[in-house]
A and B are shown apart, each in its own frame.
Chain A
């Protein structure tokens, strides 16, 4: 999904979901049967964008914060996947891409392919909690290179977007809301920062989106991932194997906020 659209869409969806039996999750109809065969998941480098919105319009990327969140998301994702019974590949595509521009390009293309595919997942319609296992969406064979490199059965894709407002921007919004409040009789304090995440598990052989979820929060923190990813269906044993003991409960890591 386009980053600019992701925040309002995630926010709107979550508002719609409150108090209703709707879900932000989407699942492939065959994921329940293919899940026992997913032994190893490789985590793709999270796409992270955190923008400081300023009064003068000179918006800028908060690169240090982006890197902190990127690392935090990777840790959180490993923790949640292990907790849910999935093996996590010990491969760091970002490090490989630093010296392999072709791999870096393929990471970018996979993100583009996912953005195009996700339009079928989050097209604005609400999805009932008992009707989310019907989404057949694929990013195509572009996943194969990553599967080969990591010897993975599935790939975890994460896209994070955050917005922080500068003090000047906040003062302006507060003043505007006070003036508006004088007319309408009600005052709403503007939100100073917000973030949203989309997380998806992709079949590393076919590129099919097996499961995906989105979440948003009124802060810029990697914690937004936890509530989205913790709902990923746990790995189930194959018909012939006994159920594996779950990993010890993995708590949230320290917040990334400084």
Chain B
């Protein structure tokens, strides 16, 4: 028994040993030569297939071509010929990007909608590309497997108490901190070589710093605020201490990125509303209005977020608790319920602003009608929803609106 602590420590340390994997640019790396690498390539293919089968890969040739043009600009020349690297946008509102080991880079539209310019996009692309080039997934896969086996064996000695999994769980974030740092440094070098202004890095980390805790993918580098400020610091130090061209006069590509962001912002908001993330949808609309203050769609969606908070105060409370790490209790739900009139008033203002921007914007009548329905104003509801249905635009929710009108008639 006196050897037990020593045995446990040995087992835990056995799981901490790290595997070194040669990067793809090393010249002697052979892709797919390792059974583990073949396995994770197969998993990548399956994951890509799943994204495609679920319709999650954005089918917009113009945006896809733009993302891949940015990739081509920052891609180093010494990559193996048999490695195909591509970028795709994923119709997911969560702030995240990721790379599969076989060279597939995926950017969620929720992240793209947050970025300020092409240079920031290039930085993210370069960071994800660095994970592929350095084969961080393969390294992580081998490390994780060792750690879980060591944790299982240690757990047996601890009578199945699961205490042994705590250090394992703490270590299984997709990439280790050192891997993220390595990717950040490579990204800066490639950005410099491609002629992007390196000052954009500070802007990117400032954008990521603003991402709310619940808004980004769990355990991703986009969700960790202390790490993002540390990343900004060591990236700045790396630029200062290395002989890199900072390209201060180069364009950050705000104009080329603007239409991409505009198109993806509206899609992001609809997905956020679908997931009952009203506050996030409102934030996205408000941010976009800084760039595009005349767009009636943004006012409409801001109104939708307010209206749905009024319709669903329990959902609004749940989101608030999740975003700010608060307890979800009756008090919070009641406080949201007590603010319903305030939410509806804000929604009406937003819809009316949309109409002020474009008098023919039919969706605003839909919003005004549904607020009137929630507030029991039947005449106004009927008037607004009838106007909406009379619109020449395609109406995807005709059944929904017609049902509201039918209920309105039967209630009279």
Contact = CB atoms under 8 A, between A and B. Distances in A.
A179 B57 CA distance: 49
A175 interface: yes
A176 B91 contact: no
A59 B148 CA distance: 12
- Interface majority SS (helix, strand, loop, mixed), chain B: helix
Contacts of B23: none
A57 B144 contact: yes
B56 A176 contact: no
Contact of A173 (B147, B160, B271, B400): B160
B318 interface: yes
A56 interface: yes
Among B39, B271, B397, find the residue whose CB has the most chain A CB atoms closer than 10 A: B397
Contact of B148 (A57, A105, A109, A179): A57
A128 to B, nearest CB: 18
Contacts of B275: 112-113, 116
B274 A112 contact: yes
Nearest to A203: B403
A219 interface: no
A186 B64 CA distance: 60
Q: Which of B54, B155, B399 has the most CB of A within 10 A?
A: B399
A127 interface: no
B399 A180 contact: no
A108 B56 contact: yes
A109 to B, nearest CB: 5
B399 A116 contact: no
B156 interface: yes
A38 to B, nearest CB: 13
B400 A205 contact: yes
A97 B276 CA distance: 25
A144 B160 contact: no
Contacts of B54: 104-105, 107-108
B144 A148 contact: no
Contacts of B91: 105
A117 interface: yes
Contact of A113 (B55, B152, B274): B274
Interface string A197-241: 000000011110000000000000000000000000000000000
A180 B159 contact: yes
Contacts of A101: 52, 55, 57, 59
B195 interface: no
A125 to B, nearest CB: 11
Nearest to A98: B53
B403 A206 contact: yes
B145 interface: yes
Contact of A183 (B55, B148, B159, B398): B159
B405 to A, nearest CB: 11
Interface string B354-381: 0000000000000000000000000000
B274 A142 contact: yes
B315 A120 contact: yes
A103 B160 contact: no
Contacts of B262: none
Contacts of B46: 61
Interface string A77-104: 0000000000000000000011001111
Interface residues of B, number: 35
A205 B397 CA distance: 8
Nearest to B39: A58
Interface in B237-273: 271
Nearest to A115: B275
A97 B152 CA distance: 42
Contacts of A75: none
B396 interface: yes
A108 B54 CA distance: 6
A141 interface: yes
A180 B274 CA distance: 46
A172 B150 CA distance: 12
B149 interface: yes
A56 B404 CA distance: 54
B314 interface: yes
Contacts of A176: 155-156, 159-160
Given A57-B144, A207-B400, A97 B155 contact: no
Contacts of A172: 152, 155-156
A179 B396 contact: no
Contacts of A140: 274, 400
A49 B403 CA distance: 35
A219 B94 CA distance: 34
A102 B57 CA distance: 10
A55 interface: yes
Looking at B148, B400, B402, B403, the one whose CB has the most chain A CB atoms below 10 A away is B400
Interface in B388-408: 396-400, 402-404
A109 B57 CA distance: 13
A177 B155 CA distance: 11
A44 interface: no
A204 B159 contact: no
A203 to B, nearest CB: 8
A57 B56 contact: no
Nearest to A168: B152
Given A58-B145, A104-B53, A106-B55, A175 B156 contact: yes
Given A105-B55, A108-B56, A141 B144 contact: no
Interface in B141-168: 144-145, 147-149, 152, 155-156, 159-160
Given A144-B400, A172-B152, 15 more contacts: A56-B148, A57-B145, A57-B148, A58-B39, A97-B53, A97-B55, A108-B55, A116-B276, A119-B318, A144-B396, A144-B399, A172-B156, A177-B160, A179-B156, A205-B403
17 contacts: A57-B147, A57-B149, A58-B39, A97-B55, A101-B55, A101-B59, A112-B271, A112-B275, A117-B276, A140-B400, A141-B399, A144-B398, A147-B399, A176-B159, A179-B156, A179-B159, A205-B399
- For the complex of A and B, the 6 pairs showing the least CB-CB separation, nearest first, are A105-B55, A176-B160, A57-B148, A104-B55, A141-B397, A141-B400
